[in-house]
Amino acid sequence: PSLVLHTNVNMGDRKTEFMKAASRAIAESLSKPESFVAVCVLDNQSLIWGGEETNCALANVASLGSINKANNTALSGALAALLSDFDVPSDRVYVNFWDIGARENCGYNGVTFA
């Protein structure tokens, strides 16, 4: 699974701590080994929400399977809780979930998972 998160807040020296916590949350929520989880966080981005320059975040989570209502709800809540430490309100966070589908649609280690 992977997470790519964009936010307009400056995470400063707590960014790595956030990324590690997000990695654990992804592994737990999706029941996947953390050794396969990748996290990319892009902070200080130019983002607006509702036409206003307010703290916000946009996230994309992709996974081979395990994308379902229960898991998505758990992970959405976990990410919102982690972002609240950076004064990002939960109603200013979008998390989009993508099930990659067929194993041949995901490359790893020079091959695909098929």
Q: Model confidence over 1-22: pLDDT tens digits?
A: 999 999 999 999 999 999 999 9
Domain that holds residue 59: 2-112
Q: Please tell me the distance from the alpha carbon of residue 51 to that of residue 62, in angstroms, as a whole number.
A: 28
What is the structure's pLDDT at 37? Answer: 98
Beta bridge partners of 43: none
- Domain count for the chain, please give it: 1
Q: Give the pTM.
A: 0.96
Q: Please tell me the distance from the alpha carbon of residue 114 to that of residue 96, in angstroms, as a whole number.
A: 24
